[in-house]
Structure 1
Amino acid sequence: MGEHNTGNRATQWMSVTGQPLDLGLRDSGFEGQCVSITSYEKLNQLGEGTYGVVYRARDRQTSKVVALKQVRISAEERQNGVPITALREISILRSLNHQNVIDVIDVAVGAHAMDEVYMVMDYAEQVGDPMPR
């Protein structure tokens, strides 16, 4: 639930319990603390599954090669924002720290709206053909 204040006061968002929420969105637009997907150059597609498409990409600023997992958002989900399953996956993977789990470095969003959401992950070289025929 949101509450729009006028004047010099910022928009105040409230939780379902009525407590004020600090979403960290002051003066940062819809992206919040996410980077823009334009910060990355897609090099090639690595694979595709039920929940998204994975690309090999290069960070335009550091030249580091990363994996980008584009979160699949259906047309009906798009009206309600980012699917809870995607938020859960991002949250869990960001909280893990294990040698056998790829790190989620960041979250990137589309250049114009939240219609594209990507998990920026460490890139791990694959063994074999990444897209079997």
Structure 2
Amino acid sequence: MGEREGVEGGVGYFMWSITDNRLIMDEVTSEYHGFSAEVGAQGVTIEDILERIDIEMRDRVASAIMDSITEKALFDQRYKVIRPDGTTRIIAARARPIFDADDAPFLGLGAVHEVTFKRPRLLGGT
């Protein structure tokens, strides 16, 4: 794969092995959350993801994750990621848990995209 100028505007995908707590991300999802493509392909924990979410949003997102796997609910959240380099991104994520024959959640499949918007300059403003 050649060098890329970034992944802005792309849709990323992930798979979370709930039983192993290993979230495997494609290149886009990794980039949005501030992980290298290599780390994303190897997988991180859900706690690694939560640590990068803005503290003011973290509890809400963690609660939505738990609701998703305990109530069979769609995970549909927007949150701010603070990447290790200090940049931020607003991410929209949707995921659905998959349950086994015993009705236990074992896998989460989802997609993310960036919804960070720059504020337009006000007329006459600096």
**Would the TM-score normalized by the shorter structure come out above 0.5?**
no
TM-score using structure 2 length: 0.31
Where is the helix percentage greater, Structure 1 or Structure 2? 2
TM-score using structure 1 length: 0.30
Of structures 1 and 2, the larger Rg is shown by 1
